């Protein structure tokens, strides 16, 4: 059984607001008003699925006339998708989220990644020595949740 879905406001200034949908700490979709849609068309869009963690074609999206309709359509899509997802699928997403947040912080602090050095060694912003071989383990153990907002 998965945790209940929760909504968080979408604060991305490049979108017209709406909601980000989470299952626990994993973002599984969004619902929001769509920019550039003719006023005669459905104004609310939704998407359901997460990458990595979903297979190609599992992500579903649609348009609706109201937030309530979009929410109902999202819920139906989520119920179908959730039946296929195990904790391992969510863990793939979490590891990717944390790795990318860690990598971005390394870049922000002008620290080279081990893959950018000929000897395959570097030093993390936390001070730990890391290698190409130890990189994934280090990020997962020392920086778990770094990408969680």
Residue 149 in domain: no
The tens digit of pLDDT for each residue in 48-107 reads 999 999 998 999 999 999 999 999 999 999 999 999 999 999 999 999 999 999 999 999
Same domain for 101 and 53: no
Q: Are residues 73 and 13 in the same domain?
A: yes
Phi/psi at 118 (nearest 5 deg)? -65, -30
**DSSP secondary structure letters along 99-111:** HHHHHHHHHHTTP
pLDDT of residue 36: 82
Express each pLDDT in 9-59 by its tens digit.
998 877 767 999 999 999 999 999 888 888 888 889 999 999 999 998 999
End-of-domain residue from the set 65, 82, 99: 82
> What is the reported pTM?
0.86
Q: Are residues 76 and 110 in the same domain?
A: no
Number of domains in the chain: 2
Residues 60 and 27 in one domain: yes
The pLDDT value recorded for residue 88 is 97
Q: Which residues contact 108 (CB under 8 A, 6 or more apart)?
A: none
Per the structure, the complete domain to which residue 48 belongs is given by 5-82
Structure-token match 């602090």, residue found: 109
Task: Answer yes or no: is 148 within a domain.
Answer: no
Whole-number Å distance between alpha carbons of 75 and 9: 18
Whether 65 and 131 share a structural domain: no
Whole-Å CA distances, 36 to 27, 58, 60: 25, 26, 20
């Amino acid at each position: 059984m998965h945790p209940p879905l929760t909504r968080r406001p979408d604060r991305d200034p490049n979108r017209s607001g709406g909601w980000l949908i989470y299952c626990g700490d994993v973002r599984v979709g969004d619902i929001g008003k769509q920019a550039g849609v003719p006023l005669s068309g459905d104004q609310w869009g939704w998407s359901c699925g997460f990458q990595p963690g979903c297979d190609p074609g599992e992500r579903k999206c649609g348009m609706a006339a109201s937030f309530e309709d979009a929410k109902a359509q999202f819920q139906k899509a989520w119920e179908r998708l959730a039946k296929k997802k195990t904790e391992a699928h969510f863990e793939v997403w979490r590891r990717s989220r944390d790795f990318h947040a860690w990598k971005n912080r390394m870049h922000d602090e002008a620290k080279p990644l081990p893959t950018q050095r000929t000897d395959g060694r570097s030093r993390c912003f936390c001070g730990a020595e890391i290698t190409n071989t130890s990189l994934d383990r280090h990020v997962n153990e020392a920086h778990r949740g770094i990408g969680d907002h």
